[in-house]
């Protein structure tokens, strides 16, 4: 696109419906080399806009929806000017009657200014400059919102390179405000994670048939220890730590909790994590961006390596797990766990997107992208298989994970630390914090750097996950307190898990002259 074409798209993007649109392009990022010329063209185009009754087809700018919104727009613009922005409004006569606000251009806006960080929801455009495409991506993603973006460039290669990195659910390349029912529309982050249109929009209304009829999980019964305490702890006590950033770490509290078998025997002690441990784990996961940027083939190879290494230690891990769940279940968990890892390793480079053909001269590329950092509360009834069934699909598509393992037998995760260390797993891709799931869930769900919460324990935890997570609209997926047969691959493996581990970005690309 040339500058004149970009200006027309910009006008449609921000001053359509007076900027009172959820996908209004209220921030303008310009390369420094063309900023002065672009600002001049934008001002010239703004001078031709007409304000008046919106039912008049010759009118460009209509009225603001309510007095309270008009006051808010004025207040935010004044605050932006006080923070250093330069305000420019075209000379125009506004109707004497009605809630009108002139189209406004704020230039020299700092990235941390309130007009760059908050939705104004009015005819106000905040402009700033960048030097390189990577800097443009950083500035564009420096927001809590992520519904839509436009990329204008004469180089399609550069435009697609930038579009793939933007944290937005819809990206229009050299076009704006294109919609079609066959293409999903929805956001990232605090713009919400629902989708309208497309297959992903339909999935919002669907759930597996078996899940609808699944029974409720029974209440967990705690067995009191016997007066003469029996112990299944080996002669040399094994120290199990937390796993954060690819390293074993002692819990911040310094405390540990007893882990007992169903008949009350002491099996060992597990570290008790607290909010600081969760903070450290989330920080490590956020820094492990290399895992998401790795090719799907490379992620698949790492998961294959994990499965191979687990199969080498099959008997040892099954023997240790048998003390908690019985010999038969332990063997089945390990065998199915190996199969699950192999399955998601195979899915890693095959769970890709699609290309839509809207009724315009465009294509819409629907890309499956990782959500980001996923907090996972693992089920109690299957300590190893439940962990692998949830963590592996999240890893396969490029997410990083902070997992709270089963309280029934968290000690088994100690064997997985060595498994990840010897399988080329990126440091921080998997982080494991043991302790009380009820207490750790609150900290994890309220953390703003956690992008999704998966809770697969009881109904109370499912409700708590939804309640705690509203602070930043993170995605929440739970079992609604229902029982899942983790030994049944139809219920505990496949696309249902991969769909929840990804979010769909639609990139619109026009073609032709």
- The count of other CB atoms within 10 Å of the CB of residue 91 is 6
Torsion angle (degrees, nearest 10) of CA 33, 38, 39, 45? 180
**CA 318/CA 180 separation, integer angstroms:** 52
Tokens 């390369």 -> residue: 31
C-beta separation of 432 from 390 below 8 A: no
Task: Flag the least confident range among 117-131, 253-267, 309-323, 457-471.
Answer: 253-267
State the pLDDT at residue 490.
94
Angle between helix 156-163 and helix 133-140 axes, rounded to 10 deg: 40
Write down the pTM of the prediction: 0.91
- What pLDDT is recorded for position 228? 42
Report d(CA 218, CA 505) in Å as an integer. Answer: 39
Torsion (CA) 195, 199, 200, 201 in degrees, nearest 10: 30
Residues in contact with 391: Cβ distance below 8 Å, sequence separation at least 6, in sequence order? 376, 378, 401, 403, 430
Radius of gyration of the chain (CA): 27
Asked whether residue 493 carries a pLDDT value surpassing 60, the answer given is: yes
How far is the C-alpha of 305 from the C-alpha of 78, rounded, in Å?
58
d(Cα 307, Cα 286) in Å, to the nearest integer?
25
What pLDDT does residue 507 have? 97
**Residues 36-60: pLDDT tens digits?**
999 999 999 999 999 999 889 889 9
Pairing of strands 362-370, 502-510: antiparallel
Would you say the C-alpha torsion 46, 47, 53, 56 has a positive or negative sign? negative
Calpha distance 292→167 (Å, rounded): 13
pLDDT tens digits, one per residue of 220-254: 555 454 544 555 555 556 778 999 999 999 999 99
At residue 512 the predicted structure's pLDDT band, cuts being 50, 70 and 90, is: confident
Domains of the chain: 3-143 (3.40.309.10), 230-350+371-503 (3.40.605.10)
Range of lowest pLDDT (344-348, 468-472, 479-483)? 468-472
- Classify 254 in phi/psi space as left (phi over 0), alpha (psi -120 to 50) or beta: left
**Token pair for residue 108?**
């020299």
Average pLDDT, the chain: 92
User: Percentage of the chain surpassing pLDDT 70?
Assistant: 96
- Over residues 410-436, mean pLDDT: 94
* 280-329: pLDDT as tens digits: 999 999 999 889 899 999 999 999 999 999 999 999 999 999 988 999 99
Average pLDDT over residues 407-435: 93
Q: How far is CA 497 from CA 13, 57, 346, 481, in A?
A: 36, 49, 14, 17
Supply the pLDDT for residue 472: 83
> Is 213 or 132 the better-scoring residue by pLDDT?
132
- The pLDDT of residue 234 is 56
Cβ(403)–Cβ(429) under 8 Å? Answer: no
State what percent of residues in the chain have pLDDT above 90: 82
What pLDDT score was predicted for residue 294?
94
Q: Give CA–CA dist 335/377, Å, rounded.
A: 22
- pLDDT score at 392: 98
**For position 233, what pLDDT does the model report?**
53
CB distance 512 to 491 below 8 Å: no
Q: At what angle do helices 413-421 and 314-325 cross, to 10 degrees?
A: 160
Q: How confident is the model at residue 142 (pLDDT cuts 50, 70, 90)?
A: very high
pLDDT at 230 (0 to 100) = 55
Residue 195 tokens read as 């989708």
Q: Which two tokens stand for residue 153?
A: 């460039």
């Amino acid at each position: 696109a040339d500058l004149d074409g970009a200006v027309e798209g910009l006008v449609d993007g921000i001053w359509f419906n007076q900027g009172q649109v959820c996908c209004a392009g209220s921030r303008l990022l310009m390369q420094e080399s063309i900023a002065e010329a672009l600002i001049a063209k934008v001002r010239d185009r703004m001078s031709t806009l007409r304000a008046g009754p919106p039912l008049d087809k010759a009118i460009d700018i209509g009225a603001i929806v309510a007095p309270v919104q008009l006051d808010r727009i004025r207040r935010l613009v004044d605050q932006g000017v006080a923070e250093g922005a330069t305000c420019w409004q075209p000379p125009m006569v506004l109707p004497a009657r009605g809630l009108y606000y002139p189209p406004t251009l704020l230039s020299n806006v700092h990235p941390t200014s309130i007009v760059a960080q908050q939705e104004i929801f009015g005819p106000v455009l905040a402009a700033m400059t960048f030097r390189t495409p990577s800097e443009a991506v950083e500035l564009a993603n420096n927001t809590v919102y992520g519904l839509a973006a436009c990329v204008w460039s004469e180089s399609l290669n550069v435009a697609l390179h930038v579009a793939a990195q933007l944290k937005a659910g819809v990206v229009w390349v050299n076009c704006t405000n294109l919609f079609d029912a066959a293409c999903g529309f929805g956001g990232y982050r605090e713009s919400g994670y629902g989708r309208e249109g497309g297959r992903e929009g339909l999935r919002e209304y669907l759930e597996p048939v078996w899940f609808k009829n699944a029974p409720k999980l029974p209440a967990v019964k705690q067995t009191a220890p016997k007066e003469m305490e029996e112990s299944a702890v080996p002669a040399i006590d094994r120290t199990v730590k937390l796993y954060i950033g690819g390293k074993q770490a002692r819990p911040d509290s310094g405390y540990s909790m007893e882990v007992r078998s169903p008949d009350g025997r002491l099996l060992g002690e597990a570290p008790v994590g607290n909010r600081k441990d969760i903070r450290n784990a989330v920080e490590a996961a956020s820094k492990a961006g290399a895992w998401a940027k790795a090719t799907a083939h490379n992620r698949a190879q790492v998961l294959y390596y994990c499965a191979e290494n687990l199969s080498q230690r099959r008997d040892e891990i099954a023997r240790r797990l048998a003390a908690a769940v019985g010999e038969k279940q332990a063997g089945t968990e390990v065998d199915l766990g190996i199969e699950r890892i192999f399955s998601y390793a195979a899915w890693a480079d095959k769970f890709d997107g699609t290309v839509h053909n809207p009724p315009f001269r465009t294509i819409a590329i629907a890309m499956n992208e990782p959500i980001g950092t996923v907090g996972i509360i693992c089920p109690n009834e299957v300590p190893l298989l439940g962990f692998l069934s949830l963590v592996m699909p999240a890893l396969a598509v490029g997410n990083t994970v902070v997992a709270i393992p089963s309280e029934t037998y968290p000690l088994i995760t100690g064997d997985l630390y060595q498994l990840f260390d010897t399988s080329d797993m990126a440091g921080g891709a998997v982080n494991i914090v043991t302790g009380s799931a009820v207490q750790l869930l609150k900290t994890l769900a309220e953390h703003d750097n956690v992008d999704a919460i998966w809770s697969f324990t009881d109904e109370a935890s499912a409700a708590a996950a939804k309640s705690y997570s509203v602070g930043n609209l993170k995605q929440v997926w739970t079992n609604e307190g229902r029982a899942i047969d983790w030994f049944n691959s139809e219920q505990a493996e496949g696309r249902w898990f991969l769909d929840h581990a990804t979010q769909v970005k639609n990139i619109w690309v026009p073609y032709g002259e």
